[in-house]
Structures are given as structure tokens and as C-alpha cells.
A and B are shown apart, each in its own frame.
Chain A
Amino acid sequence: MRAFFPIGRGLLGGGLGYLIGAGMIAALRGQGLTAEPALAVGYGLGLIGWLLGVGMWEVWVREWLGWPVHQEEDRSWVRYFRFTTDHKVIGVQYLVTFLGLMLVAGLLAMLMRLELMRPGLQLFSRNQYNTVMSLHGIMMIAVAVATIVGGLGNYLVPLMIGARDMAFPRLNALSYWLVPPAALALLSTPWLGGFDSGWTAYPPLSEANASGQVLFNLAFITVGLSSILGGLNFLTTIAFLRAPGMTWSRLPIFVWSIFATSILSLIATQFVAVALLMVLLDRILGTGFFDPARGGDPLLYQHVFWFYSHPAVYIMIIPAFGVILEILPHFARKPLFAYRWAVGGFFGIVGLSFLVWAHHMFTSGMPSWLHAPFMATTELISVPTGLIFLSALGTLWQGRLWLRTPMLVALAFLANFLIGGVTGIFLADVPTDLHLQDTYFVVGHFHYTILGGMIFALVAGLYYWFPKISGRMYNERLGRIHALWFFLAFQATFLPMFGLGLYGMNRRVADYPSYLAGGNMLVSMSAFVLGASFVFLIAHLAYAWARGPQAADNPWRARTLEWQTTSPPPVENFPILPRVIGDPYGYGVPGSPYAWIAVAGGEGE
């Protein structure tokens, strides 16, 4: 019971905050507690109440007031339910929360495929379908943005650079605890009429639909804040907390990918927050940002929104590249090919990502002289992406591949991302995009990059670091079966979508012409098999965490620092900080040490 005390107090604080805020506004304006202005103010105060209740009061506010801070030391499992500052605990909190969200959002996808199995309307009204689709979209976006960065990144970056914790441990805890209220808000939108504007929330629809939209905007801004604070923390940690000898050119590639991603989330996320805030102001205070009748411009929203949301897809995919490039050398037993070029590729993507946003708007009615420049910059992205991809292929080239589960999933990632990348070209080219915009071709394309890319990388990373995080080993045979199952079901689900899109199936619509029935039946059937593979994955890992055999400290014989400590690592990560003296990926290079670990009294590797 003790475990849920902080969360219970947080819920109490949140509820009180909501009642005070919403009640005040409701009394002032003579409206109900769920009228939109009351909703917005109530959410704001509720969020503050939740954070204070869940632990900010002890950890932070008492210090601001100059009172003694007494923080409980709890090493039992209870710490996972508290405002704990240990980056490893926060990493696991992120992983579990977002894997749970992924299952919920996946269930929504199953409902969508059930509806789309046959033409006509079976399960939902059109409006309900759109709310389900929007919820699936935004929750999966959150999963894609935060699971690798917040989960694996938090757990691994301090370990990989030989630090004791993140630079701002309390800020780190705050970043995590901002997530549950946002998830709660999203999941309660259906009781406020839902929101049918998709995760992109374009006005004028998002300014005219049901009040669920207000909660969506507030939740999105909250998750954005969490992402900004996380990015700030990673940048500072990587810049200043590296172990002695860990020069920039000795950083593991995964750490580089988190560094590049953090630049994007730090700078770009504010734009979407402002765009969503403007929608809220239009709805609640009656301003006219996106209403032409009041001097506004709906296209302005799309510009500001995509100025974040295109970089956001790189927030999703750069850490995925990082995970894959991290795994490949360990399992090919070869140095990472073209390490510096891959790092350059990350930063090339970061730079270019701010110059491509309007390729989402070729059919929006923006001035047509903008088409060619945005087409050109978008195609240019394939250069840095290609560098990263070639780094992966070069690492495999003539390697002695060790085909364990993480490696199998990593290879699947490469195949998926190739298809995802190549189909992107047709969407970047204006002439083809005019035909393909808003069809299932787009749906196929971004699921190949985000699910086939980011989620595959997440799964590869989960298998790879599972022994480190849990101290247990998963079952290799079940892992391989799952890898194959996952890969085949994924192809069968999303490959036909390209064809459906070419034949004119629209996205975000609950119905379709009957000549598309065959393809949709195939997609739906495969989607159920794919959904089951996720349940299998989670069940397998949960079982292995509870009952699996003890894992060795370094089961993959990897060189990077996180494997040189115990599994799971002690609270302080390394009893004595390691000293780095060589290249992290010098596999098979004679006489190439990486680090001095004081405990072992010898060389790492």
C-alpha cells in the first residue's frame, strides 16, 4: 500500500487543483466544470497539484522555501512508484509506462482494422472512428518520441559515458512525472466528445469540434514540456559528465544519436507548443490566429506545426539509428564503419530537418513557388540518411555475423527502413505527392519508418539491453521466433497499404469503396497477427524478468562501458569511475583496449 502513497497524494493534489481551477472559472463565468475555459485552467492547476503531490514538494519546493529537504532513501521496488531521481529507475519508469501506452494505442489500431475489415460502417460511427484514429495517432507519436530517448536513453546514457547520474536528476524525475497526467487527459477525451482532428489537429476543424480537443492540446503541450526538459538534461549530461578520457570521438554512437536528438527536442518542441496554444486561445479567448474572419490564417498553423513536427520524426528515428548502429558492431564483431560520417549524418539531419517542413503542405494551397525549394531540401535529407545507412551496411560487410535476437531485429530494421525511405521519395516529389497525399500510401510510408524503423529499433534495443536492465536473460529461442513473427506480420500488414493508397484509398476515413475490400481484409488479418506479436513480446519479457535465468554482466562480450559494470548496475553505476583510453568499437583490432575499470583491476573488453 505504501507504494502507492505518492501517487495517491498526486492524484489527490491533481483532483484538488482541477476542482479549484475549474470551479473558480465556472463560478466566474457561470458555466459547468467541463466548459472549455474551466477545463483549461483546471488542467493547469491540476497538473501543478499532481506534481506537488507526487513528490516535487519534498524534493524541490522545500528547498526553494529554505526548509530542510529530507528525501527518503528507498531501495525496494517501491522506488519505481516514487519521485525517484536515479536515472536507471526513471529509465525503467519510462519504458514500462510507454510500453503500456503502446499496447493501449495498439489495441486502438486493432479496433480500426476491425472497422476497416469490410466496407461500410460496422463498429463505429464516423466520428467515433476519427476519435479512435486520433487517439491511436497521438499516443503512438508519444511512444515514438519518448520510449527510446526517455527509456533506453535515460537508463543507458549515463552508464555509457561513465557518469553517476544525469546532470539534473530532479529535472529528470519531473520529465517523467509530467507524462501520467497527459496520458490520463488523452484517455479521458472520449468523455468530452472525443477529438476527430487527428494528431495534427489542423484548424479550422480543431477550433470547431468537441471539447476533447482542448484536453488533447493540453496533453500534447505537457508531453512536449517533458521532451524539452529531457533534451536539456541529455545535452548538459553528455557535454559535462563524461568519464575521464571519454573524448567526443570515443562516445558510443547511441550517445551521439541522443545528443543530436536532444538538440531537436530542445529547440523544435516549443513551436508545436505555441501552435497548440494558439488553437486554445482561439477556442477559449476568441482570438483569431487561424480564423480568416478575424484576421487569421489557417495555413499559419500548418507552418508552425510542421516546423516542429517534421523535426519530430527525426526525434523518433535518429535514436533508432543510434540503437541499430550500436548493436551492429557488437554482433558483427567489427569496428563501426565510418563512425565520424555517421555522426556527421546525425547532424546533417538535424540541420536539414528545419528546412523541409512545407513538404507536408504541397496540397494545402500554399504559394506554388514554395514547392520546388521544399522538394529539393527534402530530397537532400537522403544524403545524411544515406551516410548512416551506409555506415550500417559497411559494418556488416565481411563481418562475422552473430545472429542472436537483437541482431535479427536490427537486420529487419535495415530492410524496413530501406522500403520506408524509398517510398518517401514519391511523397517528397511534388508531381507524385499530389496524387498520393492523404492516401494509404502515406500511411504505409510512415509506418515503415516509424513502426518498421523506430519500434523495430526499440525492440532490438530491448532484447540487447534486457540482461543489463533486468539482470536476467530472455529465452533465445522464443526471441528468435518473435523476431521472425514480428517481421513477417509487419510486412504483410503494411506492404499492401502502398497498393491500397495507389488505388485511391483515403486515410482517416472509416469507410472505403468496395473494390478495395480484398486488400483491406488482408491488411486487417495481418494486423491482428502483428498485434499479437506485441502481446507475446511483452509477456515474454515480463516472464523473463520474473523467472528468467541470471544474466552475465556482459553476455554479448561488448566493449562499451555499460557492460563493464554488474547487471543490473549498482546505484552509483561504477564503484570507481572508469577511465577511457581507446575506441569503443575496436572489435578484432589487435591490442585495442577501451577502458580501465578499477574494480576489475584491468582492461575493459
Chain B
Amino acid sequence: MSALREGHAIAVPLRVPRFGLWLFLLSESMIFATLLSARFILQGTYRPAELNQALGLAITLILLTSSFTANRAEIAIAHGKTSTFLRNLLATIILGILFLIGVVAVEWPEAMHFAPPSSGYGTVFFTMTGMHAAHVFSGVVILSLIYRLGRRGAFGPGRMWGVEGAVKYWHFVDIVWVFFYPALYLVR
């Protein structure tokens, strides 16, 4: 029974971790739902005219593209094409880092001028982008670990739950931005 005792050694069907991941994402989405409603409750549909629309559009496109490459990576490993998998995974990681740089290093210093965190809009803007960026960062870390494992040949057709889970999480973080971007940049 000793092998049985070690949690990871119990052979459970894939639907078990898959269901657990969906529950986790459901739970996480409540955080973002709260922040999203707080934005409208506190600020209505107000947004400052100074927002850098070009930057907002650019980082949104970057993040959406990263979901595409993540999907390519998942499909590639399902077909056993390890090098395509690694290439697309690396592209996803780089796009994720670009997004983070766009938010934290470019957008935030700009926003500090017209909407500092102590202002009404700055409160929701920095909290929402910050909470989302923290999730993107964790996604980048997870994908990097997957990349490292992938290079050691840990994944292949039929043994790719790690890839599937990480990519699902990545899509989730992306979808959150699909709600946050219009709420912060486009509402009128």
C-alpha cells in the first residue's frame, strides 16, 4: 500500500484533476468579478481621457496572440511534436513577459501622472491591472516550469496533463483581460 499512500501515485482518471482545475478557475473568477463590479460601483463608466489607447490595444493583442500560441503548443504535444510544442510554448512565455512589461513598466508609470492609486479611477485601475498582472506572472512561472519539464521529455501524447492544465489556466487569465480591457479602456 505504500505506493498508494503517495498522493501523486494514485492513478486517477484525468477527469478528476480536470474537474478540480475548473472548480479552481470558477473560484478565481469570483475575485475578478468582484473587482469588475467595484469598478462600476465606485466610478460608474468614467475613464480619464489620458489613457494610452495604443498601448492598451497593443498589450491586448499580445495577450490574445499568446493564447493562440499556447493552443498550438498543446495541440503539438498531443501529436507528439515536441519541438513545435517547445517553440510555441516559448513564444507564449515571451508574449506573456511582453504583456507584463507593457503593463508594469510602461503603462503604470504613465498612469501615475493622471490617475495615481490615491485617485478614484487610479484605485480601480491599479488594483484590477495589478491583480491581473499577478495572475499573468504566475502563469509565466507555470509555463516556464512546463517548458523546463518539456525539454526533459516529460510530456507526450497521453501524458500531458501538466501542459493541458497550464494552458487552460493561461486561457483563463486571457479571458479575464477580455473583460477588464473594455471595462478600463473602452467604456463610455
Contacts and interface: CB of A to CB of B under 8 A. Distances in A.
Interface residues of A, number: 50
B98 interface: no
Interface string A269-286: 111011100100100011
Interface stretch (B3-11, B47-55, B100-108): B3-11
A171 B1 CA distance: 20
Given A295-B42, A297-B41, A289 B148 contact: no
B186 interface: no
Interface string B1-42: 110111110101101110110011011101100110010011
A300 B42 contact: yes
Contacts of A266: 23, 26-27
A287 B126 contact: yes
B31 A288 contact: no
Contacts of B28: 270
Contact of A236 (B19, B34, B118, B120): B19
A476 interface: no
Nearest to A287: B123
B178 interface: no
B152 interface: yes
B160 interface: no
Interface stretch (A65-73, A98-106, A203-211): A65-73
Contacts of B19: 235-236, 239-240
B45 interface: no
B148 A63 contact: no
14 contacts: A65-B145, A69-B8, A164-B10, A167-B12, A236-B20, A236-B23, A240-B13, A267-B26, A267-B30, A274-B30, A281-B117, A285-B126, A287-B117, A295-B43
Nearest to B35: A274
A273 B8 contact: no
Interface in A257-271: 266-271
Contact of A294 (B7, B119, B126): B119
Looking at chain B's contact residues, the main secondary structure is helix
Interface string A61-95: 00111100101010000000000011000000000
B15 A232 contact: no
B20, B26, B120 — most chain A CB neighbours (10 Å):
B20
A528 interface: no
Contact of B154 (A66, A73, A270, A275): A66
Interface in A231-271: 231-233, 235-236, 239-241, 266-271
A224 B43 CA distance: 28
| 4 shortest interchain CB distances as A-B pairs | A295-B120, A169-B7, A270-B30, A287-B123
Given A271-B30, A297-B42, 8 more contacts: A59-B7, A168-B17, A232-B23, A266-B23, A267-B27, A287-B127, A296-B120, A304-B34
Nearest to A575: B1
A392 B38 CA distance: 42
A304 B31 CA distance: 11
A5 B41 CA distance: 50
Contacts of A296: 42, 120, 123
A165 interface: yes
Given A287-B127, A296-B123, A300-B38, A63 B20 contact: no
Nearest to B162: A64
A365 B118 CA distance: 25
B24 A232 contact: yes
B183 to A, nearest CB: 16
